[in-house]
Amino acid sequence: MAKVKPFRAVRPTRDKVALVTTRSYELYDMKERRSILKYNPFSFLHILEPGFKFNKVVKGLERFRLVNNRFLEFKENQIFQKEEKPVYYLHEKSFGEHVYWGIIAVCSVEDYENAVIKKHENTLAEREKLFGHYLEVAGFNAEPVLITYPNQIEIDHLYNRYKLERAEYEFTTNKKRKHQLWIIDNPADIALIEKTFDSIPQLYIADGHHRSASSHYLKNLLKSKNKGHTGNEFYNYFMTYLIPESNLQITSFDRFIKKLNMSKEDFLVQLDAYFRIENLGNELYRPSKKHHFSMYLDGDYFKLYLRSEKYNIENALDELDAQVLYKTILKPILKIDDLSADKNIVYIPEKENLNQLKTIVDEKKYAVGFGLFPVTTEQLKAVADAKLTMPPKSTYIQPKLRSGLTIYELTE
C-alpha cells in the first residue's frame, strides 16, 4: 500500500509567488532566461543559475554548492518561508478548457524500490548519479514527480470542498496559466488523505522518471553514510504531485526524419507491406484511433492504417503506436535502431499545433513527419504492470507544475 505523507514545504510568500515560480529550467531559451535573471530578482532561476550573480558560468560541484547558497539567501531574505507543521497542498492549474488538480505530498522511496510506485521508462545511470549528487549538495527538491492514481471519491469530495475556500496562492503566468494552491492542515483531512492512499495498491509515475530514480540513488548514498539510519530520514521520501487518472492528459510526440535515403516511391512501396495507405493531398489529418498514423511527405498528407494481420502483438508494449512505428518503419525501413541516439530522428511534442507535420516538414529541415495517436492511461499502466519500458518520447503529459512552488528540504 502507498505511503503518502504530508511535509513542511519551503515556499514563496504569498506576495511574491508569481515572481518566484518558474517553468522547468530546460523550457527557457538563453535569451528569455537572461532577461528574467536581469529584471526579476525574485525568480527561482537565480537559484538554478547561481553564477549569474558573479557574471560567471559555473558547473559541476561548484554550481551545486552555489545553488544551495542562493537557496539559503532566498530563505534569509524572507522570499521563502517554511511551513510550521507537516501539511498537504492542493494545487489546481487551469487554462482554456483544461483544469488539472492534484495533491502535493511526499512519497516513499521504499515504495519505488518495491514497485508500489511503478515506472514505464528506462533511466540513464549517469543522469541518476549526477542528479543524486545535485540533490545531496543542494539539499532540496523543487520539482515534484507527477504520479497518477485511480480516482478516489473521498479525494474528489475534498477537492470540491476546498475549491469553495480562499486559496493561499492565486496567480496567472505570462503563458495564461492560472494556478491556485490550498493548504490542507486540518487533522481530519490529513488523516483522510493518508488513509485513502494507504488503501491504494499501486501508483504510477506519469512524468519524472529520472527525478524518482535520482531520489532512489540519493537514499542509498546517504544510507551508506549514515550508521544510524532508521528509514525515517527526509532522504527516504521524495516530493510528488498526485493526480487522479481521469485528470491526466496524455498527448503524443510527432516523429520527424531528416533523410529517407531512398526515393519517395520506394519508401511508399515498402510501407505498403504493413499499412493501407491513402493520399489526402493538402487535407489535414491526425490519427483518431490507435494503430492509425498520419504522415506528411513531399507536400502531401497520408493516412496509414496498420494491417493487423501483418503485425504480431505479443505484449503490452507491442500495443503502443510508438512501438508499432518502430517495428514496422523506423527500424526495418529507415534503419533507425537506437531511438535515443540516432541523429536521423527528432521528437517534437504535438501540443496544440495540429498542423505541425506540414509546417515543420515544409521548412525543408526534414524529409517526412509522423503523427501518432496518444497513449492511453490504461496502456501506460499495462506497460508498467508488465515491467516493460516504452520507447523514448512515447508520451507528452500534462499538467506541468511550476518549479519553486513548493520545495522539499532533504535535511532539517
pLDDT tens readout for residues 69-78: 999 999 999 9
pLDDT digit string, tens, across residues 170-182: 999 999 999 999 9
What is the predicted pLDDT for the residue at 351?
74
Confidence of residue 352 (pLDDT cuts 50, 70, 90): low
Other CB atoms within 10 A of residue 127 CB: 15
Please give the sequence-ordered ranges of beta strands (E in DSSP) within 150-291, or none if there are none.
169-172, 178-184, 203-207, 237-244, 249-251, 253-257, 275-281
- Are 164 and 182 in contact, with CB atoms under 8 Å apart? no
Phi and psi torsions of 48, nearest 5°: -75, -25
Q: Nearest 5 degrees, angle CA 375-CA 380-CA 386?
A: 135
In the chain, pLDDT over 70 holds for what percent of residues? 100
- pTM recorded for the entire structure: 0.94
Confidence of residue 411 (pLDDT cuts 50, 70, 90): confident
Whole-angstrom distance, CA of residue 380 vs CA of residue 317: 9
What is the predicted pLDDT for the residue at 408?
98
| Residue 269 vs residues 72, 83, 258, 274, 344: alpha-carbon distances, Å | 62, 64, 19, 10, 21
For helices 187-198 and 153-162, angle between their N-to-C axes, nearest 10 degrees = 150
Fold type of domain 253-394: 3.30.1760
Bond prior to 201 in cis (omega within 30° of 0): no
Question: Residue 31, exposed/middle/buried by CB under 10 A (0-12, 13-18, 19+)?
Answer: exposed
For domain 4-250+399-409, give the CATH number: 3.90.1530.10
DSSP symbols for 337-368: --TTT-TTEEEEE-TT-TTHHHHHHTTTS-SE
- Are 1 and 75 in contact, with CB atoms under 8 Å apart? no
pLDDT at position 1 over 90 = no
- Cell triple for residue 133? 549528487
Whole-angstrom distance, CA of residue 35 vs CA of residue 144: 26
- The two domains 4-250+399-409 and 253-394 share their CATH topology (first three levels equal): no
What is the predicted pLDDT for the residue at 365?
86
Structural element, H or E, at residue 137: helix 125-138
What Rg value do the Cα atoms of the chain yield, rounded? 23
pLDDT digit string, tens, across residues 292-339: 999 999 999 999 999 989 999 999 999 999 999 999 999 999 999 999
- Are 236 and 151 in contact, with CB atoms under 8 Å apart? no
User: Which residues does 2 contact at the CB level (< 8 Å), separation at least 6?
Assistant: 107, 108, 111, 116, 117, 149, 197, 198, 200, 201, 202, 203
Residue 219: left (phi > 0), alpha (psi -120 to 50), or beta?
A: alpha
Confidence of residue 285 (pLDDT cuts 50, 70, 90): very high
pLDDT at position 412 over 70 = no
- Are 203 and 242 in contact, with CB atoms under 8 Å apart? yes
Whole-angstrom distance, CA of residue 312 vs CA of residue 318: 8
Whole-angstrom distance, CA of residue 337 vs CA of residue 39: 46
pLDDT digit string, tens, across residues 354-398: 789 999 999 888 999 999 999 999 999 999 999 999 999 999 999
What is the predicted pLDDT for the residue at 96?
87
Indicate the DSSP class of residue 234. Answer: G
Mean pLDDT of the chain: 95
Alpha helices by DSSP H, listed for 40-107, are: 45-48, 60-76
N-terminal to C-terminal alpha carbon distance within the chain: 27
User: Which residues does 38 contact at the CB level (< 8 Å), separation at least 6?
Assistant: none
The residue extents of the domains of the chain are 4-250+399-409, 253-394
